[in-house]
Amino acid sequence: MTTKQPKYEYVSSARLPTRFGDFTIHGFVEASGQEHVALSYGQWQPEDVVPIRIHSECLTGDALFSTRCDCGFQLEKALQNIVDKGCGVLLYLRQEGRGIGLLNKIRAYNLQDTGMDTVEANEHLGFDADLRSYDICKLMLDTLNVNQVELMTNNPRKMQALEQLGINVTARKPIDHGLTKDNKHYLKTKTEKLGHAFDPHLFK
């Protein structure tokens, strides 16, 4: 009899000192081999509401300091917010380019350089506007004994996705987006086409 492989699995944890503070990093893997991590800070009880941020990988923004998106800025703000609050969790999901992958994201960037917006570029390449999945978040939060969350996001759809997974989201907290001349059109597109909750006056 063949044992069915679990869809997601917790792997291990270790101390992760950062310039923001001392976190613990927790590793998770999907049956496909895709790896994800969670960073936790501080302590909480099972009944506590824990601040969290779900951050999809963005190599260009997170590691290469690109200003054509708001990803790297939001990653840093989330880590700092968690430390300032005294506890929290950042779920770092390996979903580059809204799920299309790094090289396809570069292709999409090339199309954006010719005048398309981020949604049009993804669709031109044959992808949906957003292919990300948040299914693993439930396992990650259960493993960390987090039962109620305050979600740091400008994307109300992300809140709805977590609630559909049975995660109790008590509140949505906006997160600074780091507006620049290079990402202004990108943020405007996220507001108008993807439902993100930015102040429309930012784009005037």
Told to judge if 130 belongs to the known catalytic residues of this protein, a careful annotator would answer yes
Q: Tell whether 96 is in a known binding site.
A: yes
pTM: predicted TM-score of the whole model, two decimal places: 0.88
Active-site residue among 107, 132, 157, 172?
Answer: 132
Q: How far is CA 17 from CA 20, 24, 32, 116, 167, in A?
A: 8, 8, 29, 40, 28
Query: Which residues have a Cβ under 8 Å from the Cβ of 133 and sit 6 or more positions away?
Result: 95, 99
Options 3.90.79.10, 3.90.180.10, 3.40.50.10990, 3.40.50.300; CATH of 8-95+132-179: 3.40.50.10990
Q: Tell whether 166 is in a known binding site.
A: no
As given in the structure block, the two tokens for residue 112 are 């954006």
Q: Tell whether 94 is in a known binding site.
A: no
CA distance 182 to 110: 14
Task: Return per-residue pLDDT of the chain as tens, 204 residues.
Answer: 455 556 889 999 999 999 999 999 999 999 889 999 999 999 999 999 999 999 999 999 999 999 988 899 999 999 999 999 999 999 999 999 888 899 999 999 999 999 998 889 989 999 887 788 898 999 999 999 999 999 999 888 888 889 999 999 999 998 876 777 777 766 776 666 565 665 555 545
Q: What is the residue whose two structure tokens read 């950042």?
A: 90
Taking the CA atoms of residue 125, residue 129, residue 132 and residue 135 in that order, the dihedral angle to the nearest 10 degrees is -130
- Partnered with residue 161 across adjacent β-strands are none
H helices of 9-62, in order, are none
CA distance 161 to 134: 7
Told to judge if 68 belongs to the known catalytic residues of this protein, a careful annotator would answer no
